[in-house]
Structure 1
Amino acid sequence: MPIEVEIDLELERLEILKRYRKLLRAAKPFLKDDDAKKIKKAFNLSVEAHKDMRRKSGEPYIYHPIAVAQICVEEIGLGTTSIICALLHDVVEDTDYTLKDIEHQFGPKVAQIIDGLTKISGQFEFGTSQQAENFRKMLLTLSDDIRVIMIKLADRLHNMRTLDSMARDKQLKIASETIFIYAPLAHRLGLHSIKTDLEDLYLKYTEPESYEEIKNKLRATKTSRDRFINKFIEPIDIDLKEQGYDFVIKGRPKSIYSIWNKMRKQKKPFEEIYDLFAVRIIMNSVDIKAEKSDCWHAYSIVTDHYTPNIDRLKDWLATPRANGYESLHITVMYRPEGADKGQWVEVQVRSKRMDEIAEKGVAAHWKYKGNDTRTGQGIDQWINQVREMLEATKDSKSAALEFLDDFRSNLFAEEVFVFTPKGELRVLQRGATALDFAFDIHSEVGARCIAAKVNNTLVPISQPLNNGDQVEIITAKRQKPSEDWLKFVVTSKAKARIKELIKEENKQYISDGRSIIEKKCKILHLDVTLELINQLRAYFNCKTPSDLYYRFGKAYIQPDEIKKFKQEKEAKQNIQAKINTDDLQDGKQFTKELKKMHGERTDADALLIGEDMDKIDYILAQCCNPIPGDDVFGFVTVNEGIKIHRTTCPNAPELLSNHGNRVIKAKWTSQQKIAFLAGLRIDGTDRVGLVNDLTRIISNELHINIRSISVETEEGLFEGLIKLYVYDTRHLEQLIHKIEKVDGVFKVARFD
C-alpha cells in the first residue's frame, strides 16, 4: 500500500514566490517600460495552468518553467520575450490553453515562439524515427526565431539537472539524445557553458563511476592546482599591470566530460592527463578597435616568460570560428620551481566582449550586433545553410535519420578558410574538397563541376582544401553528379544536394528494383507487406526501402538472394517462438509478448529484462560484447528479438536517441557461471618470457580459456591483443589487476 505524503501547500506557495522573485532580480538590469507586468502576467497564467500538475520528483510542475526562464536569463542572456515564452512553454502542450489564448494575451511574437516549442513535441507514426523527425521540426523554427532553439536548450538543461527522479532506462534515453543532438547544437550556437553542462550531465548518468572518480580527483587536486596556476600567472600579472592594462586572469579546470574524453582517447589514467585546466587572460579594451592589439600584446608578454609551442598556436582573432568564437590560443612550457619536469599549459587570450560571446554565443551576438564586428556572421551563414538543407529534404520523411547524420557531422566540425577568385572569404568544414566549395558557391555550379584551379594549379574535384587557398571552379554543361561524389564531400549542403540530384536520376532504378522484388517474392510465395520489406531492408543492410529497391534495380543484389533470406527466416522460426511484430509498438509490448510465449523461466539466465524484470530470451550484441556486471540496456530489433548492449557501446547514443521507443531496461543478476568473450589490450616493454608469464597467469592461476592472442613488438615496445572468456566484470578486473603486476607491463585496457 503506497505511503501518502502530506504536502504543505502554503510552504510550496512561498517557495514558488521565492523562485519567481529570484527570476525578476536576474532580469531587472534589462527590463523596460511594462516588461515586469508582462512577466508577472505570464507567471500567473503558468501557475494557474499547471496548478494540479507535479513532476516525477513530486515537486509542483511550475518549478520547471521558472527554472527554464532563469537559465534563459542568467546562463544564455536572453530578454523579456524569452522569459515569457519559457514560463509558458508547456502551457499549450499540457493544458487546455490554446495558441489563440496566448496570442490574445501576449501578442503574435510570443505565440509564434510557443508554437515552435510545441511543434518540437508530439507523437509521430511508428516506424519513423520520432527523435530525428522531432529535431528536424525544431530546426525548421530557425527560419522563424532562433530563440525557439535556445529556450529548448534551456528546457533540456533543466531536465538533465533533474534527471535523478527518472527511471534508469529513461535516464539513458534522455542523456543519449542530449549528447547526440543538443550538446553539439549548443556548441554550434556558441553556448559554451550550456554545452559543457550538458556533456557533464550526460556522463553523470551514463558513466556514474567515471564521473564521480574524476570529480573527486579534481576536488582532491584543487589546492595544488591553484598553487600551480598562481605561480604561473604571477610574472604575467606583474607585467600587464606595469603597462597599465585593465584585465582579469583566471585558471579554470577543463570539464569532467572533456577530461574523461581525453583519458579514453589517449588511453591514460587521470594522473597522466596534464592539461586539466586552461589559463584565460581577459583584456578589458577601451574600444573594439584596440582589442586585437591588446590581445597580441598580452601574447607577447606570456611568450617573454614561457616558451611557446608554435605548432599549437590558434589565431581565431583574424578569422573567427563559424559560431562567432574569437580568441588567441597558445600552449607554453612551464616548469615550476623544484619540479622534475616541465608541463604544457594552454593560455587563452581574448577581450571582455569576446569572452561574453564565447560563453553566451548567439545571445551575446545580438547584444553586440550594432558594433563594427563580424560577430555572428558565421552563425547567420550557418543558419542559412541549415535552411537550404531543410529545403532540399523537405519532402522526404524517410530521410530524417540520414539528414540528422549529415547535420550532426557539421556541428562539431573545425573550419577551413578559402577564397573565391575575386578574394571573397568562404568558411567551410575542415576536410572540405573543391566540390564542397563548388556547392557552397551555388548548387548548379556544384552539379556541373568537372575540375578546379587551386592557387592557379589544375586539380581534381576531390582535392581537399587548405587555409588560404584561392579556388576557381571549372564547369561543363554535360557533367552530372554520381554516387562517387558522396565519398569525397564533407559538407551537409553538398551531400544533401548530390543525394537530391542522384535521387531524381535513380527513380527508374527504384521502380525496376520494386518490380524485381515483387516478382521474386511471388515465385517464392512471400506476401509483399511493409513488414517483409522492412525485414529485407534489415537483412541486406539498407537504410531505407528506396535504398533496397535501388540496389536490386542496379543489380548490386541479385534476386536469388531473396531465396536465401527466406530459408534463413524459416530456419529461425523453427528454432524460436514466432512473435507477431505487427503488434509490437514498443519495448514494453515486446517483453509482454515474449513473457506470454515463454511463461515464467526457472533457469538462471543471467539477465533481467523489461519493466517487470523478467527472464526472457536475448542476444548479446557483438559491437560491444557485454558481460555480467556491465551496465546494459535491451534493444528490440526487427528480426533478431532483444539485443543487449553496454551503455558505453559506440552505437548506444544513436540507438537510444533515434529509436528510444525500442529500448527496454536490462540488468544482470546473480547467475550460474557462464563464460563471456572479452578483449584485453596489453602495452609494455618487450622482454624474453613476457608472453609466457601472461599466459601462465591467465590459464594456470585464474583458469581462463584464451580464444586468441596476437603480439606485436617494435623497437623494444610490446602490444598484445588477447580475447578470452570471463564470468563477469569482477572476474575481468581480477585478471587485469594481476596482469598489471607483471614485470614490463605498463597498461592493461579492455577493448570491444
Structure 2
Amino acid sequence: MIRQYELVEKVRAYDPQADEDLLNRAYVYAMKMHGSQRRESGALYFSHPLEVAGLLTQMRLDTASIVTALLHDVVEDTDATLADIEKMFGAEIARLVDGVTKLSRLELQSDHTKQAENFQKLVVAMSEDIRVLLVKLADRLHNMRTLCYVANPARRRRTAIETMEIYAPLAERIGMQEWKDELEDLAFAEINAEARESITKRLEFLRREGQDVVGRIIDELSQTMRDAGLNATVSGREKRPRSIWQKMQRKDVAFEQLADIMAFRVIVDTIEHCYTALGIIHAAYRVVPGRFKDYISTPKPNGYRSLHTGVIGPESQRIEIQIRTREMHEVAEIGVAAHWRYKQGGDPRTDGRQYRWLRDFLDILEHAAGPEDFLEHTKLEMFQDQVFCFTPKGDLIALPQAATPVDFAYAVHSEIGDHCASAKINGRLVPLRSQLRNGDQVEIITSRAKSPSPEWERFVVSGKAKARIRRIVRQQQRGQYIDLGRAILQRTLRAEGLEPSERTLEPALKALGVKTVEDLYAALGEGTHTGRDVMQAIQPAPAPQPANDKIVPISRARSERRGKEQPILLRGLIPGMALHFARCCHPLPGDRIVGIVTTGKGVTVHTAECETLVSFAHTPERWLEVDWDERAADADGALTGRVHLIVANAPGNLGSLSTMIAQNHGNITNLKFTNRSRDFFEMLVDIEVGDVKHLTNIIAALRTHPSISSVERARG
C-alpha cells in the first residue's frame, strides 16, 4: 500500500499548492473508518480507496479529487455519515463523495432496471462535476484489476458486461484512452476468455517471428524525420486483444488478414510540424487510400486531435501512423484529466458541460420514458462512429455513422427536429432517410404543421433523435388509445346496465394494477386488457367466456412453444396472422426483412437480400412491409442463424467448436456435413441466437480458433 507521506509527495510533485493537511486528515480518517475490513482478495479494504487515489495522482488531479477517492466508500461501508464528511472536509468534498456513493449503492443491484437507474444517476452527477466520473472510473478500474478474486462467476460476468457497455465507452468519451483500453481488455478477458487467449497467443507468435521488426520500423521512421530536418519522437504500440477483436468483427476478416496490428506515433512540437511530418511520410512511402483522417482541423467530440494516415512503410509493412503534438498526445491519453494541467483557475463543476455529447445525454434523459429507455438510447450515442456535417452558417455538427437529416435536425435543436419537413444536402432536396457523409452541408426546412412520424424511428440512428421521436409518438398513440379504450369500456358497461365513473371503476384499477382511469382507458385501447377483464374486476362472479371474446393484442401474443406470453417479433402484421421464418435465409433481428403472404401458411419472413424473393417478383400484392419490433432480440424464443464452416479434420475440433458456441451463449440445434475430405470437414451449423449481433459475435469467436479455416453466415 502507498504510505501516507508517499501519497502527499505524489500530489505535491505536480501541485505544490496542494492542501497537505487535508490529504493527511483524509488518509487517516479513511484508514480508521475502514479499520479491519477486508476485500474478497483478503487484502485490507483500505487498500482499495488508496489504489483509487493513486490512479488519480497518475492523472495529476486536484486535491479535492484525491480526497474524494480516499473517502468514496466510507459513507457506504462504515458508520460515517455525509454530515460527518461535510463537517470534517467541507461542502465540496461532501458533494463529490455523495455523488460517488449514490452510484455505488445502485451498482450493487443486479436487476437490469437498477443498472439503468445507476447509469442515469451517473450522467446527472457527472454533468454537475466531471470529477465524479473520474473517481468512479478509477474505482471501476481497480475493481476490474481485482475481479479475479470475486468468487461468484455470474457476478464477475455482470460486472464485466457493465464495464464494457457503460464505463469503457464513457472513458473514451472523455478522452481517457489508456483507461478505456485497459477496462475493455479486462472485461474482454472475463466475457470471452478463450478468444482473448487465442489472440494473445497469435500476437506472441508474431513477436517471435518478427524478431525486432517494430524497433526497425521506429528507427527508419526516426531517421526519415531527421533527414528532413524535423525534430520528432517516434514510438510504436501493439494494439490490445480487444481492439483487434473489434476490428475482426467490424471488417469481417480473420486475424491473418489484419495488417495494422501495430500503431506508430510521431510526436512533434507544433501543429505546423504535424502537417510537415505528414508530408514527409507521404513523400517517403506509398499511401493506403482511404486511411487519412484529419482530427486536428475537425477534432472528435471528446477533444481528441491528431492526424491519422496509413502507408506501406518500412520493410513493406502496412502500418498506421498517428501524428500529433505533445499536448495533443497528453489529451489523447488522459482526456479531460489533462485540462487540470493547462487551465489556470476555472470551476471544475462546469467542465462536464463543455462536452456536447453530455448535453445530448441530458436531453435524452429528459425525453426518455424511463431508466431502461434512457440506457438504450445513450448506449447508441456512445458506441457509434462519427460523421461530421455543417450547417449553412458553417457550424460543425458531429453525428453517428449512417446519420440522416432527421438526426442532424435534432442535433441542432429538438424543436427543429420536431418540425422537420424536408432537407437539402449540398443544395439538393433529398429524402429524409438519406444517409449523410463527411463534409455534407445540411439545410433543414421546417413547418409548424409537421410532427415526428413513427417511420422516422426506423431510420434515425442517434439516441437523442430516437428518444424524442419515441416520446412524441408515444404521446400521440396514448391519446388515440385513450379514446378507443373509453369507447370500448362505455359499450361494455352499458351492455351490463352500468355507467363509467371513477367509483364504478375503482375495483378495476386495483385489480388490473393501473393508477388512473386514463391509464385504464389506454390499456384497453392498446389491448393489454379487455372489457371482459374490467367486468370481471367489477363483478367477480364467474361467467363462461366464448373463445373468440378475448382480444389478443399483437404485443402480447402467446408463444405455444414456451407456454407463456411473449412480445411479438414483428411490426406491420395483423393480430393473429400465422408467421413463419424462411429456412432459405434464416432472418434474424437486425436484418432488413420483407414478408410474403402464402395461402394456407400465413406470412413467411425473408431477409431483403434473399435470392428466393426473385420468384415472387411478379406478384407484388403478396409482399408485406414488416420490420422487427425493438424488443425482438429480448424475446425468449431464440431464432436460428445458420453458419457455413470449414474445420480441420483432427480429434477434438468438433468439441472445441461446440464449446466456443456455448460459451458465447449460442445453442446448436442442427449440424449437417456437406463435404468431407482427409484434411477438412465442411458443414452447416444451425445456432439459436438472439439477433444478428449475437450471431456475428459467435462467428468472430470461431474465427479466432486456429483449427477453423473459414466461417461465414450461410444465406441460402
1:383 alignment partner in structure 2:
358
| Alignment pair present for 1:442 and 2:442 | no
Q: d(CA) in 2 for partners of 1:128 and 1:174? A: 12
Give the counterpart of 1:463 among 420, 434, 448.
434
2:145 alignment partner in structure 1:
161
Deviations 1:253-288 (A, max 9, x none): 0011112333455565544433221111111x1xxx
Q: d(CA) in 1 for partners of 2:422 and 2:555? A: 44
Deviations 1:518-574 (A, max 9, x none): 999999xxx98999989xxxxxxxxx999987753999x99532699798789949x
2:339 alignment partner in structure 1:
365
Give the counterpart of 2:684 among 712, 715, 721.
721
2:242 alignment partner in structure 1:
257
The amino acid across from 2:132 in the alignment is: V
Give the counterpart of 2:104 among 94, 97, 121.
121
Q: d(CA) in 2 for partners of 1:227 and 1:52? A: 49
2:88 alignment partner in structure 1:
105
Q: Is the 2:482–2:522 contact (alpha carbons within 8 Å) kept by the matching residues of 1? A: no
Q: Is the 1:740–1:748 contact (alpha carbons within 8 Å) kept by the matching residues of 2? A: no
The amino acid across from 1:172 in the alignment is: R
Q: d(CA) in 1 for partners of 2:260 and 2:557? A: 56
| Alignment pair present for 1:344 and 2:318 | yes
Deviations 1:651-699 (A, max 9, x none): xxxxxxxxxxxxxxxxxxxxxxxx953558x9xxxxxxxx55369997x
Q: d(CA) in 2 for partners of 1:126 and 1:213? A: 31
Q: Is the 1:175–1:205 contact (alpha carbons within 8 Å) kept by the matching residues of 2? A: yes
Compare 231-240 and 344-353 and name the one that shifted more: 231-240
1:89 alignment partner in structure 2:
72
Compare 148-157 and 231-240 and name the one that shifted more: 231-240
* Distance change (3 Å), C-alpha of 1:273 and 1:242: closer
Deviations 1:61-104 (A, max 9, x none): 00100111111221x44221111001100111111111111111
The amino acid across from 2:710 in the alignment is: K
* Distance change (3 Å), C-alpha of 1:563 and 1:724: closer
Following TM superposition, by how much is the alpha carbon of 1:414 offset from its aligned partner in structure 2, in angstroms? 2.2
2:384 alignment partner in structure 1:
413
* Counterpart secondary structure, 1:122: helix
* Distance change (3 Å), C-alpha of 1:334 and 1:173: same
2:710 alignment partner in structure 1:
747
2:307 alignment partner in structure 1:
328
| Alignment pair present for 1:278 and 2:263 | yes
Give the counterpart of 1:59 among 20, 34, 43.
43
* Distance change (3 Å), C-alpha of 1:19 and 1:623: farther
1:41 alignment partner in structure 2:
25
* Counterpart secondary structure, 2:148: helix
Following TM superposition, by how much is the alpha carbon of 1:514 offset from its aligned partner in structure 2, in angstroms? 6.5
Following TM superposition, by how much is the alpha carbon of 1:203 offset from its aligned partner in structure 2, in angstroms? 1.7
* Counterpart secondary structure, 1:312: coil
Q: d(CA) in 2 for partners of 1:134 and 1:219? A: 39
Q: Is the 2:407–2:417 contact (alpha carbons within 8 Å) kept by the matching residues of 1? A: yes
Q: d(CA) in 2 for partners of 1:154 and 1:546? A: 49
Following TM superposition, by how much is the alpha carbon of 1:121 offset from its aligned partner in structure 2, in angstroms? 2.7
- In the TM superposition, 1:481-560 aligns within 5 A as 481-511=452-482, 551-552=526-527, 560=551
2:623 alignment partner in structure 1:
none
Following TM superposition, by how much is the alpha carbon of 1:444 offset from its aligned partner in structure 2, in angstroms? 1.8
Q: d(CA) in 2 for partners of 1:244 and 1:546? A: 78
The amino acid across from 1:410 in the alignment is: E
Q: Is the 2:127–2:353 contact (alpha carbons within 8 Å) kept by the matching residues of 1? A: no
Give the counterpart of 2:329 among 355, 360, 363.
355
- In the TM superposition, 1:204-243 aligns within 5 A as 204-222=189-207, 224-225=209-210, 227-243=212-228
1:247 alignment partner in structure 2:
232
| Alignment pair present for 1:198 and 2:190 | no
TM-score, length-scaled by structure 1 = 0.68
Q: d(CA) in 2 for partners of 1:563 and 1:302? A: 61
Following TM superposition, by how much is the alpha carbon of 1:380 offset from its aligned partner in structure 2, in angstroms? 2.0
* Distance change (3 Å), C-alpha of 1:362 and 1:517: farther
Give the counterpart of 1:296 among 264, 275, 292.
275
Q: d(CA) in 1 for partners of 2:286 and 2:202? A: 29
* Distance change (3 Å), C-alpha of 1:347 and 1:353: same
1:665 alignment partner in structure 2:
none
Q: d(CA) in 2 for partners of 1:440 and 1:546? A: 35
Q: Is the 1:325–1:357 contact (alpha carbons within 8 Å) kept by the matching residues of 2? A: yes
Following TM superposition, by how much is the alpha carbon of 1:461 offset from its aligned partner in structure 2, in angstroms? 2.7
CA RMSD of aligned residues (A): 4.4
1:172 alignment partner in structure 2:
157
Q: d(CA) in 1 for partners of 2:54 and 2:417? A: 46
Residue correspondences, number:
579
Q: Is the 1:740–1:747 contact (alpha carbons within 8 Å) kept by the matching residues of 2? A: no
1:400 alignment partner in structure 2:
371
* Distance change (3 Å), C-alpha of 1:343 and 1:551: farther
Q: d(CA) in 1 for partners of 2:203 and 2:262? A: 10
Identity of aligned residues (%): 34
Q: d(CA) in 2 for partners of 1:292 and 1:563? A: 59
Following TM superposition, by how much is the alpha carbon of 1:183 offset from its aligned partner in structure 2, in angstroms? 1.0
Compare 564-573 and 344-353 and name the one that shifted more: 564-573
Q: Is the 1:322–1:427 contact (alpha carbons within 8 Å) kept by the matching residues of 2? A: yes
Q: Is the 1:323–1:379 contact (alpha carbons within 8 Å) kept by the matching residues of 2? A: no
The amino acid across from 1:129 in the alignment is: T
Q: d(CA) in 1 for partners of 2:78 and 2:133? A: 22
* Distance change (3 Å), C-alpha of 1:697 and 1:78: closer
The amino acid across from 2:342 in the alignment is: Y
* Distance change (3 Å), C-alpha of 1:114 and 1:346: same
Q: d(CA) in 2 for partners of 1:378 and 1:328? A: 26
Q: d(CA) in 1 for partners of 2:302 and 2:51? A: 26
Compare 148-157 and 439-448 and name the one that shifted more: 439-448
Q: Is the 1:175–1:206 contact (alpha carbons within 8 Å) kept by the matching residues of 2? A: yes
* Counterpart secondary structure, 1:486: helix
2:692 alignment partner in structure 1:
none
* Distance change (3 Å), C-alpha of 1:435 and 1:97: same
Q: Is the 2:176–2:336 contact (alpha carbons within 8 Å) kept by the matching residues of 1? A: yes
Q: d(CA) in 2 for partners of 1:724 and 1:466? A: 36
Q: Is the 2:169–2:180 contact (alpha carbons within 8 Å) kept by the matching residues of 1? A: yes
2:400 alignment partner in structure 1:
429
Q: d(CA) in 2 for partners of 1:450 and 1:554? A: 37
Following TM superposition, by how much is the alpha carbon of 1:221 offset from its aligned partner in structure 2, in angstroms? 3.4
Following TM superposition, by how much is the alpha carbon of 1:197 offset from its aligned partner in structure 2, in angstroms? 0.4
Q: d(CA) in 2 for partners of 1:127 and 1:450? A: 41
Following TM superposition, by how much is the alpha carbon of 1:382 offset from its aligned partner in structure 2, in angstroms? 1.9
Give the counterpart of 1:309 among 277, 288, 311.
288
Q: d(CA) in 2 for partners of 1:56 and 1:164? A: 10
* Counterpart secondary structure, 1:561: coil
Q: Which blocks of at least 5 consecutive residues in structure 2 are unaligned?
A: 346-350, 496-506, 531-547, 565-635, 643-653, 689-701
| Alignment pair present for 1:677 and 2:662 | no
The amino acid across from 1:391 in the alignment is: E
Compare 382-391 and 169-178 and name the one that shifted more: 382-391
Q: Is the 2:53–2:70 contact (alpha carbons within 8 Å) kept by the matching residues of 1? A: yes
Following TM superposition, by how much is the alpha carbon of 1:433 offset from its aligned partner in structure 2, in angstroms? 1.7
Q: Is the 2:266–2:322 contact (alpha carbons within 8 Å) kept by the matching residues of 1? A: yes
Q: Is the 2:409–2:416 contact (alpha carbons within 8 Å) kept by the matching residues of 1? A: yes
Deviations 1:581-615 (A, max 9, x none): xxxxxxxxxxxxxxxxxxxxxxxxxxxxxxxxxxx
* Distance change (3 Å), C-alpha of 1:181 and 1:521: farther
Following TM superposition, by how much is the alpha carbon of 1:195 offset from its aligned partner in structure 2, in angstroms? 0.8
The amino acid across from 1:305 in the alignment is: A
Following TM superposition, by how much is the alpha carbon of 1:125 offset from its aligned partner in structure 2, in angstroms? 9.3
